């Protein structure tokens, strides 16, 4: 595996490649990230990974400075997965001057859910992804479904800018108890880690009740609102601080209408909540 730190080195390594598959990460890699590499290998060759902790997507009170940097261990894991090139730039390489040109997603998708609770987050994400795509020139890029809103925004960005990159969504990888793998799980105390699977269990309960209602007498909007409120209450009682638990349309993350419920439009329940100082996100398609 080649490890390169500059854009010029990266482009030199990839010159002439016809179907590059790319997986951008912020490092501190776990099995979820490695599964993305395997998905990439099924859709393209060679596989390129990047590790860059992107300051633009962190808010002023978020964990940029304490986000784990584990480049040596990460590189060893990627080499075992057969990754061809690891692009690991520093901030001076990615942002040699202030990044005044930025990508701003439309408000109806970028300013809801995660965008509401993390203002500017998706501007930072789409800007760095656009820049990384310009550096790598991938035909395929793989993103995990755990970041449901993020992969939707990136797919639409590629479509609207006519970018020659196909976005592949990979399923969420979970521990045996259901907790979605995340680099931030390492922040959890032992007691918090034991409690953390409740988030996914709560989403499963919501999915089951919605499915049962849809195949019974039907589902009403006020019942959906009651389920959302009950889920927030379940978590709050156990010490969580929910930001949102919301049933949305899979197609665009808009709130469903009664017609959507009557026609059994594909839905997804998305959630974000703090457990102690650690903010966890998850989702479950219905």
Q: Are 91 and 105 in contact (CB under 8 A)?
A: no
What the block records as the tokens of 28 is: 């501190």
Stretches where the chain sits below pLDDT 70 are none
Q: Is 140 helix (H, G, I), strand (E, B) or coil?
A: strand
In what helix (H) or strand (E) does residue 75 lie, and over which residues does it extend?
Answer: helix 71-80
pLDDT for 65: 87
pLDDT computed for residue 218 by the predictor: 82
- What is the DSSP-derived secondary structure letter of residue 254? P
CB contact set of 175 (below 8 Å; sequence gap of 6+)? 181, 197
Percent of the chain with pLDDT strictly greater than 70: 100
- Distances in Å between the alpha carbon of 202 and those of 39, 80, 171, 230? 28, 36, 19, 10
* Average pLDDT across the chain, whole number: 96
Determine the pLDDT at residue 221. 94
pLDDT of res. 66:
83
Q: What is the CB neighbour count within 10 angstroms for residue 36?
A: 25
pLDDT digits (tens, 9 = 90+) for 236-252: 999 999 999 999 999 99
Show which residues are catalytic: 33
C-beta atoms surrounding 75 within 10 Å: 19
> 187 with 279: CB under 8 angstroms?
no
| pLDDT tens-place string over residues 152-190 | 999 999 999 999 999 999 999 999 999 999 999 999 999
Q: Which two tokens stand for residue 56?
A: 């633009």
What are the CA-CA distances from residue 58 to residues 55, 123, 241 (Å)?
6, 10, 20
The residues, ordered by sequence, that sit 6+ positions from 36 with a Cβ below 8 Å of its Cβ are: 23, 25, 142, 143, 144, 170
pLDDT of residue 62: 86
pLDDT, position 40: 98
In this prediction, residue 68 carries a pLDDT of: 85
């Amino acid at each position: 595996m080649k490890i390169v730190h500059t854009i010029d080195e990266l482009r030199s390594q990839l010159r002439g490649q016809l179907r590059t598959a790319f997986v951008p990460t912020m490092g501190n890699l776990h099995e979820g990230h490695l599964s993305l590499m395997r998905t990439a290998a099924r859709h393209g060759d060679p596989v390129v990974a990047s590790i860059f902790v992107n300051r633009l997507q962190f808010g002023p009170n978020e964990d940029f400075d304490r986000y784990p940097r584990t480049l040596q261990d990460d590189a060893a894991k990627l080499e075992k997965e057969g990754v061809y090139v690891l692009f690991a730039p520093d901030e001076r390489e990615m942002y040699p001057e202030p990044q005044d040109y930025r990508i701003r997603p439309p408000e109806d998708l970028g300013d809801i859910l995660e965008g509401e609770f993390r203002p500017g987050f998706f501007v930072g994400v789409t800007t760095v992804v656009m820049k990384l795509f310009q550096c790598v020139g991938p035909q395929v890029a793989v993103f995990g479904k755990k970041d449901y809103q993020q992969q939707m925004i990136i797919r639409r960005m590629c479509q609207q800018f006519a970018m020659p990159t196909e976005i592949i969504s990979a399923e969420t990888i979970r521990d045996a108890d259901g907790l979605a793998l995340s680099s931030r799980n390492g922040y959890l105390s032992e007691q918090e880690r034991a409690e953390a699977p409740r988030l996914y269990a709560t989403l499963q309960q919501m999915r089951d009740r919605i499915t049962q209602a849809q195949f019974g007498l039907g589902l009403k909007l006020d019942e959906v609102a009651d389920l959302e409120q009950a889920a927030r209450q379940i978590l709050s009682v156990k010490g969580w601080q929910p930001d949102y638990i919301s049933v949305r349309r899979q197609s665009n993350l808009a709130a469903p209408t009664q017609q959507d419920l009557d026609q059994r439009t594909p839905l997804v329940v998305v959630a974000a909540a703090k457990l102690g100082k650690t903010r966890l996100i998850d989702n479950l398609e219905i």
